[in-house]
Amino acid sequence: MSGWSVEQIPAQAGRTAVVTGATSGIGFEAALALAGAGARVVLASRNEAKGAEMLARIRAAHPGAEVSFEPLDLASLASVEACAERIAQTTPRLDLLVNNAGVMAIPTRHETVDGFEMQLGANYLGHFALTLRLLPRLLAGTAPRVVTLSSLAHRSGRINFDDLQSRQRYGYWAAYCQSKLATLMFSLELERRARAARWPLMSNAAHPGYALTGLQSAGPRMGRSRPSLMELFSKLIAPFASQSAAAGALPTLYAATSPEAEGGMLYGPDGFYELKGSPRRAKIVEAALDREIWLRLWEASERLTGVTLAQTAA
């Protein structure tokens, strides 16, 4: 697996992929590489103007690429539902879903339109609802995969069921870590359910290490007029510990396309502390492997989003 690159992506002609948060960073690089390998790629993101710009960039890099844009705001369950319905109307089958979009370390507590803490809502609950709504199209696909983006931050996460929305106490980093632990646990539980139901679906997860994207500044600057300490620290260590967004997308692309990738695994860089390097199987902390928590989180997510497996997989 060492040295794996986009040149090793198997031909994706005939496959359809949806990538969330595909107008910048890891999402854009993943969409660009998948389109270059021949996939039909749907860029699902909030910013339509940025979407048009990224479509033009992909088409310039890969003339003839079949790419399109779908508006998606993961902080709105109504937007998630509408996006899933539009994709279902135009896509008889879906072969790959990359749950990539996210926000990080918002300094003060914000809520989604549905009343969820923003990081949990946008990073996790929106993707939970989107995946379940697209599940019928995924199960109609050929060897379908769902790749969900986690983070090294999952190692410090804890699912606080007593205050899931951080209403009693909000810590920007604790909330982010919880959201990224939740995305990982969702990926693992989806894989378990797929195997139990004998679906052809593979569910795995990836993390980019420390990749230079807009994530380090967008969230920390929400509600601020100047850079946060986290943003300044990130810039200080970036020359030594970081890698490009293109390099950070490799674990996602490996998980999404490699014949050697497995379900129920997390993929990340192979360097020191998994900060940068070539994709390999990454460490999942023991606390993230608690199946009772997987199940409890899944049940809470169905209740909060109003989207259930029984509805979508029927």
The three-state secondary structure class of 231 is helix
Tokens 């705001």 correspond to 73
Distance from first CA to last CA of the chain, Å, rounded?
A: 38
Full 3-state SS string of 74-128? CCCHHHHHHHHHHHHHHCCCCCEEEECCCCCCCCCCCECCCCCEHHHHHHHHHHH
Q: Which residues have C-beta within 8 Å of that of residue 230, sequence separation ≥ 6? A: 105, 216, 220
Q: Of all helices (H) and strands (E), which one includes residue 175?
A: helix 172-197
E runs forming strands in 184-307: 202-206, 266-269, 279-281
Q: Of 124, 170, 172, 176, which one is the catalytic site residue? A: 176
Grouping H, G, I as helix, E, B as strand and the rest as coil, residue 46 is coil
**Residue 170 a catalytic site member:** no
Helix (H) or strand (E) holding 240: helix 229-241
Active site residues: 176
